[in-house]
Amino acid sequence: MFYSSFIVGFEDVVSKIIRDSYKNISLTQVLNGGIIYRAGSSDHIDKIGFLNNSFFVFKYSKETNILTFIDQLHHISLKRGNYRRSFRIIVSDQNNLIGIDNGVLSNLEHKIEKETGYYVNRNKPDIEYWILKRSEGIILFMERINKHKSFDKQLNKGELRDDLCCFLNYLSEPSENDIYLDCFCGSGAIIKNRIKMHKFNMIFGIDIEHAYIQELKKISKKNNLIFKNIDFFTNKFENAFIDKIVTDPPWGLFDHMEDIDKFYQTFLNEVYRILKQDGIAVILTACKEEMSRLKTDMILLNTYDILVSGKKASVYVFKK
């Protein structure tokens, strides 16, 4: 059994993706930003782009007291390791790391040492065992099998995480026939994810920042990848030309826009004009209040409320 975390707010999306695309995974429980599931092996889990930290689950139960749960762990068996490696135990209570009585911790460490042949290193271990208490009223004892790299160290300013891009692109129902557009592409995180996600007919990435476009042009010389240093509102696409739009327009929070309502209304009008019939637009924004006031002939299929870098945001999925 395994446990993996993902961006809170996409629970329904994760359930559907796994149901549709991962026949070797059987969901046991869907949690707020996490899933417990069965899978043949852990080999493929790293390749699932929308999952973050993943763990092998030794035990989970409906329990509210961490110390009571730890006492139950002395009755489970751990497999002996093939190599002598170091480990530490991490205890988390609803996403807050906590300390526990040193005697209780030492007893559990001794059990793990005896059964696995590993040794304790509380600073920089090879292996992490986690005791995770969830708000849903369950506690899990797990071994970490992967860990995503620090997004803050990887990303440029304003660049979206790849797992978020994966969700945005999935919601656009990607197809090999797509003529696809990110009209505020920035450094191209959404497009880069779409390129590796599914075949496509043509991808357009446009942005008013020259430096971004120059870097994106280095991705590929293929004719169906087109990056242009233009303004979405003044350089018009043909009517009903685009199949899918997936984009992260300026939120107005940091861009000092004088009239954010006008900006978004003009944006939605232009999106409607250039989308084909049954085309899909996926829009990430923090301007939920402004979006609620806007008018469009597109059908709002769904809205997902999430956090982006600790800030409240929403994903809107429209269909023409």
Cα separation, 83 vs 25, in Å, equals 29
In CATH, the number for domain 2-152 is 3.30.2130.30
- Tell me which residue of 79, 85, 80 sits closest to 126, measured CA to CA: 85
pLDDT at 260: 86
Angle in degrees, CA 194, 195, 197, rounded to 5: 60
Per-residue DSSP letter, 219: S
Cα separation, 115 vs 118, in Å, equals 8
Give the tens place of pLDDT for each residue, 235-285: 889 999 999 999 999 876 555 667 888 999 999 999 999 999 999 999 999
Burial bucket for residue 83 (CB in 10 Å: 0-12, 13-18, 19+): exposed
Tell me the chain's radius of gyration from C-alpha atoms.
Answer: 23
Average pLDDT across the chain, whole number: 91
Cα separation, 254 vs 160, in Å, equals 16
Question: In the chain, which stretches have pLDDT less than 50?
Answer: none
pLDDT at 258: 72
Q: Where are the beta strands (DSSP E) in the chain?
A: 2-5, 25-31, 34-39, 54-61, 86-93, 96-97, 119-120, 127-133, 139-146, 179-182, 202-206, 225-228, 242-247, 275-285, 299-308, 311-319
Cα separation, 314 vs 312, in Å, equals 7
Residue 13 and residue 170 in contact, taking contact as beta carbons nearer than 8 Å: yes
What the block records as the tokens of 77 is: 């068996």
Cα separation, 282 vs 298, in Å, equals 12
Annotated domain spans of the chain: 2-152, 154-319
Burial bucket for residue 282 (CB in 10 Å: 0-12, 13-18, 19+): buried
Homologous superfamily (CATH) of 154-319 is Vaccinia Virus protein VP39 (3.40.50.150)
Residue 140 and residue 90 in contact, taking contact as beta carbons nearer than 8 Å: no
pTM of the model: 0.90
Give the tens place of pLDDT for each residue, 154-173: 666 678 999 999 999 999 99
